[in-house]
Amino acid sequence: MAAEIIDGKAIASRLRERIAAETATFVTETGITPQLAAVLVGDDPASAVYVRNKQRACEKAGLRSTLHRLDDRTSQGELLLLVDRLNADREVHGILVQLPLPKQIDETTVLDAVAPLKDVDCFHPENVGLLSQGRPRFQPCTPAGCQYLLAESAVQTEGAHVVVLGRSEIVGKPMALLMVQKGKAANATVTICHSRTRDLPEITRQADILIAALGRPQFVTAEMVKEGVTVLDVGINRTDDGKLVGDVDFTSVATKASAITPVPGGVGPMTIAMLLANTLTAARLQTSAS
């Protein structure tokens, strides 16, 4: 079986075009340009690349993007003061605090300090609570990107068994919440697996849709999946020789899957597109509330 390649880059490009058109209409109607403020603490090279890509995507879609760079010795108090200033700035509609943060800073405290209406990453407890109730204010970027890929690829999710590998607050848990809800590209039966799961291959072989978000390079092999499975690979790992690979052994798993995302060019571009969508949503919400 030759797996269909789910081209996240192409799908994200079409979505960004739609967001750009909607942004242009919003700016014309309100005179307000949605603005995303990104906060980067330290000099982690990967984080710098991610932030730069997000800034470029914003500009192409007609959104403003500002970057606040802080030294890796920045204290938690100093970072919280910046977040407070951005919360109070009426021209800033979305706040992105790039993770990971230096060890002297508690990530949960900082993410909780972001105003819920500006929390375009959907990390704040208020927004996570709304998501769990099936009435999200914002969509968690990477999980929503995965769900969008399933919808655009016409993958049948209703009644399907979705297995999520990983239980992180960023991907695993919100991914499960999205897939179990009523609605488009949802209505699935969901199993979350993690490092303490027993007989993991036995469970993954039951998956109609497998979503890998473990952070372990090429962990999922052909022996762990059944024929015809749809595989979304959220992992981004760099090998010792500098190669970028996912959490799935693409070459072997693609021989059994009906559809699969590549790394790079799969889920990654969708995460950025969803961030743009959330920033526009945030601007709409704040404009209507003012």
Catalytic residue numbers read 54, 98, 121
Q: Please, what is the Cα angle at 182 between 179 and 186, to 5 degrees? A: 30
- The CA-based dihedral angle spanning residues 121, 124, 125, 127, taken in that order and rounded to the nearest 10 degrees: -50
155 contact partners, CB below 8 Å, separation of at least 6? 185, 209, 230, 259
204 contact partners, CB below 8 Å, separation of at least 6? 163, 165, 193, 210, 220, 224, 225
- The CA-based dihedral angle spanning residues 7, 120, 138, 85, taken in that order and rounded to the nearest 10 degrees: -170
